[in-house]
Chains A and B, each alone.
Chain A
Amino acid sequence: MTDRSETEAFIKKFYAARIDGDMETLAKSFAGDARFQISGSPAASMLATFIEGHDGVMGLIQTIVDSFALEDFKILDLLIDGDKVAVRWRATVNQVTSGETYETELADFIEMKDGKVVSFTEFLDTALAG
C-alpha cells in the first residue's frame, strides 16, 4: 500500500518523465509484470493495443516517446483512491514523423502495487491520433 502523498508525487514524476523522454525513470516506474493498454478497436485505430510484461511495455513507451512529443502539459483531474489512480490531462502533441501539431485530452487509469505501476490503461482521441 502506498499513501496518497507518495502516489501523487509518483504520478507527477511519472508524467514529467514522459514529457522529458526520461526512459530511466519510466522504466523504474513499471512492475515486471505490468500491463499497458491503449483503449480502442484495433479495426478502427492503429494505436489500440495491449501489452504485458516490462520489456514489451517499455518498447511501446519508447515508440510513443519517439513519435509524440508533448508541450503545454496540464493535469486537469487527478483522482487517487487507494492503489488506483485516474488522471485526465491535456497537452499539445507534436507528431514527430508528420510534423502535425494538435491539442488533445487524454485519460489514464493506473493501478499501483508496491510503488510501481502494474496496470496502465490510456484513452485518447483515436480518430485524431490515427
Chain B
Amino acid sequence: MTNRSEIEALVRGLCAARVAGDMDTLRQGYAGNATFRIAGSPDWGALTAPLTGHDAIMARFESNIASLPLSDFALLDLVVDGNKAAVRWRATVRGAAGSDESATEVAQFLEVENGKVVSLVEFLDTAFALTLLDKA
C-alpha cells in the first residue's frame, strides 16, 4: 500500500522525468509487470497498441523522449483516490522534424502498488498524435 502523499510525489516525479528525459527516474517508477496503453481505436496501430512489461514500456518512453520533446509543462489536475491517481497536464510538444510545435493536453490514469506504477492508461489527442507520427 502506498499512501496519498507518496502517490502524489510519484506522479509529479514521473511527469517531471518525462519532460526532462530522465529515464532513470522513469525506470524506477514502474513495476516489472506494468502495463501501458494509449486509449484509442486499435486502427491507430502502434500508437494505441497495449504494452506489457518494464522493457517494452521503457523502450516506448525512450522513443517518445527522443522524438517528441516537451516544454512549457503545466500540471492542470491531480486526483488521488486510494492506490489510483489521475493526472491532467498540458505541454508544448514538438515533432521530430522540429515542426508542428503545438500545445496539447494529456490525461493519465495510474494504478500504484508498492510505490510503483503497475498500470498506466493515457488519453491524448489521437488526431494530433497521428499527424505527428505521419511526419516522424
Contacts and interface: CB of A to CB of B under 8 A. Distances in A.
Contact of B127 (A41, A102, A106, A111): A41
Nearest to B44: A127
B130 A127 contact: yes
Interface of A is mostly: strand
Interface of B: 39-41, 43-44, 76-81, 84-86, 88, 102, 104-105, 107, 109, 121, 123-131
Contacts of B88: 86, 109, 121
Contact of A126 (B77, B85, B126): B126
B93 to A, nearest CB: 10
Given A44-B127, A81-B81, A121-B88, A128 B40 contact: yes
A79 B126 contact: no
A126 B86 contact: no
A54 to B, nearest CB: 22
B86 A86 contact: yes
A27 interface: no
A122 B77 CA distance: 13
Contact of A79 (B76, B80, B123): B80
Interface string A69-109: 00000000111110011101000000000000010111101
